[in-house]
Amino acid sequence: MSTQAANWLGGRSLEGYEWRDGDWMRAGLRERAGAADQHLRMHPGSWRRDYGRTPQFLNWREIADERIPYLSTWVTPTSS
């Protein structure tokens, strides 16, 4: 689990939690499939850091160099 998620949960565990959003998730995927307005939100400071340096935050060029290839794996080709 990411540090952000662990902090948000305050030490609680999601193990054994029964998610009941399957219908909503499936409906949302159908509604969004092929939509022209698909977008992703990203908080640059929490998406990725370089913990081997100070400051740990990536600059905009480093974010672009990593984020674009990362997002290109999410693209689903659509037929015209």
Nearest to 57 by CA among 43, 74, 71: 43
pLDDT in the model for residue 32: 63
0.85 exceeded by pTM: no
Cα four-point dihedral sign 10, 14, 17, 20: positive
Domain assignment of residue 76, given as a range = 39-80
pLDDT in the model for residue 31: 67
- Per residue in 18-27, pLDDT (tens digit) is 888 888 777 7
Domain membership of residue 46 (yes or no) is yes
Residue-averaged pLDDT of the chain: 75
| Other beta carbons less than 10 A from residue 58's beta carbon | 19
CA–CA separation, 9 and 34 (whole Å): 34
Q: Please tell me the total count of domains within the chain.
A: 1
Domain membership of residue 44 (yes or no) is yes
Distance between start and end Cα atoms, the chain: 39
pLDDT in the model for residue 52: 92
Q: Is it the case that residue 28 has pLDDT exceeding 70? A: yes
Q: Is it the case that residue 69 has pLDDT exceeding 60? A: yes
Domain membership of residue 45 (yes or no) is yes
